[in-house]
Structure 1
Amino acid sequence: MKPPAIPITDDHIHIDPVNGRGIEAAKDFRRGGGTHIFLVTKPSWSLGVEPSTGEDYRAVFDTTLRVADLIRETGLVVYPVFGVHPAEIGRLTERMSLDAAAAVMMAGLDLAARYVEDGRAVALKSGRPHYEVTPEMLAASNAVLYHALELAADCDCAVQLHAESGPCADVVDMAGRAGIAVERVVKHFATPDTPLMPSFIARHEEIPALARSGRRFTMESDYMDENSRPGAVIGPKSVPRFTRRYLEEGLITEEDAWRIHQETPSSTYGVDIALP
């Protein structure tokens, strides 16, 4: 069966030429049939940055832009997503107070929003720790997340949310207060019970049933591109491979695939996804 001519979009992937396979991983995605990626910034420490101010995140964002340019040379379309990983609050509080850590993270998001306004990134990334933390740290993390939602509303862009497994239903109210449509708050590594815009790991067993029901969602690999954790979370070929499998086995239709890989990400992020 010849695969249909449709875009194949990975909604959340990391490419790291220093600590991982780098451009070879991007080439794997393209060889598998992939066409578009949302390239998400890695945590600052993975790039050797230990921020003390928001401006220190510029090194992270500029590195990601250089990687994006290299990936584009392979023929892929790249949409950068900039932000501050929610786990940074734990590392920052080893060196400063909780309030100071939250302020640094918010300032880093302010900087990320300027890249969006300049057209160099298409969305923000924020969230809260996906592991148990103190009530005080959770409250500070939610304040950072709310700040990201407000910035996204001002920039008219989407936010990718890295948070605990589960619905994150309280974020619906946060988004409403911040003035951003809940359809533009993307729950990375989603579960079907979320009221936010789900981005499912490509191997998620409920993708076929959700697609047949008309549910809007995207697919991702969350490939980390770290030599110390090869193939984590799943490999760069995974989104095209699983999409092809679902199509070949009749589990999703070509119309479903267009909705997953073109219509939904285009409307969510305000980009125009089209075949090269």
Structure 2
Amino acid sequence: MKTPKYPILDDHIHIDPRNGKGIEAVKEFKRAGGTHICLVTKPSWSLGIHPVRGEDFRGVFDETLQIAHQIQEQTGVIVFPVLGCHPAEITVMAERMSVAQAADIMKDGLTIAAQYVTEGKAIGLKSGRPHYEIREEITVLSNEILSHAFSLAADAGCSIQIHAESGPCADMIEMASSQGMNPARVIKHFGTPDTPLIPSLVAKHEEIPNLCRLKREFTMESDYMDENSRPGAVIGPKSVPRFTLRMLEQGSITEEDLYRIHMHTPRKVYGIEIEL
């Protein structure tokens, strides 16, 4: 396999040896020119874990870290784990307990995730709020969970990836600031150009060349779910390197743009070094 010429980071990808391609998906990413990934925790239920207390999320986090170790050992791709509680956990857990109990369990799970960050085992947190229609009580509690996550990230001095509804999510600027969190370290996963947060854009997003001309700071992701039941969703593991290198070859982005997307912005937001 030839040595990659450029650093290329997939900012939001899931790798799941239980239910998907597992390490083979990372090998595809590498063959396409990918070099680094942010490995994000999957929802607890997808790993067969059904939390009844915050401690139960350790199983999710530990499995994510184990997969990260296997990836680096078997492929050489550099992995940056991002740990947290998927915002949909609240509605799933509410099927077997009160939503208030579910919210408390998620807060405790996030507190544990932040401990992993302070121990140097992960680079950031994942939180947010459901991206589907929910009743007012769940909206209020989800925002409480998110505020707790911002507070934890502020204390840990780390970034946070947001999984939430489509659109700007502009209210999160004040939410983060009120908890002592620097909004410049808040990444909107599956982002759109209209957000004041740092958008992580799906690799096929048509606005990428234009945003590069505007010198906009953003990252790129596949949001690959690695589930055999949904092959290639959201887009495949080769997508970020393929789209990046194709745009570079076509001249719709420059080398300067590539380094800003895949090296400089991640360094600024996450505090990570991305090198070949």
Q: TM-score range by the shorter chain?
A: over 0.9
Unpaired runs of 5+ residues, structure 2, are: none
Q: Structure 2 length normalisation: TM-score?
A: 0.98
Root-mean-square deviation (CA, aligned residues, Å) is 1.1
**Structural mapping, 1:55-134, within 5 Å:** 55-73=55-73, 74-134=75-135
- Per the alignment, in what secondary structure is the counterpart of residue 105 of structure 1? helix
Residue 47 (structure 2) aligns with: 47
Residue 204 (structure 2) aligns with: 203
User: 1:199, 1:220 within 8 Å by CA — same for their partners in 2?
Assistant: yes
Pairing 1:251–2:252 present: yes
User: 2:4, 2:35 within 8 Å by CA — same for their partners in 1?
Assistant: no
**Structural mapping, 1:1-276, within 5 Å:** 5-73=5-73, 74-275=75-276
- Per the alignment, in what secondary structure is the counterpart of residue 214 of structure 1? coil
- Cα distance in 1 for partners of 2:102, 2:66 equals 27
Query: For residue 43 of structure 2, what is the amino acid of its counterpart?
Result: P
After TM superposition, give the deviation of residue 4 of structure 1 in Å: 7.9
- Per the alignment, in what secondary structure is the counterpart of residue 268 of structure 1? helix
Query: For residue 145 of structure 1, what is the amino acid of its counterpart?
Result: L
User: 2:125, 2:160 within 8 Å by CA — same for their partners in 1?
Assistant: yes
After TM superposition, give the deviation of residue 5 of structure 1 in Å: 2.1
Matched residues, number:
274
- Per the alignment, in what secondary structure is the counterpart of residue 11 of structure 1? strand
Q: Structure 1 length normalisation: TM-score?
A: 0.98
Aligned sequence identity (%):
64
Query: For residue 52 of structure 1, what is the amino acid of its counterpart?
Result: V
After TM superposition, give the deviation of residue 6 of structure 1 in Å: 1.7
- Cα distance in 2 for partners of 1:52, 1:152 equals 24
1:30-51 deviation line (CA, Å, top 9, x unaligned): 0000000000000000000000
After TM superposition, give the deviation of residue 3 of structure 1 in Å: 11
After TM superposition, give the deviation of residue 266 of structure 1 in Å: 1.1
- Per the alignment, in what secondary structure is the counterpart of residue 121 of structure 1? coil
Query: For residue 85 of structure 1, what is the amino acid of its counterpart?
Result: H
- Per the alignment, in what secondary structure is the counterpart of residue 142 of structure 1? helix
User: 1:4, 1:254 within 8 Å by CA — same for their partners in 2?
Assistant: no
- Cα distance in 1 for partners of 2:181, 2:274 equals 22
Unpaired runs of 5+ residues, structure 1, are: none
After TM superposition, give the deviation of residue 190 of structure 1 in Å: 0.4
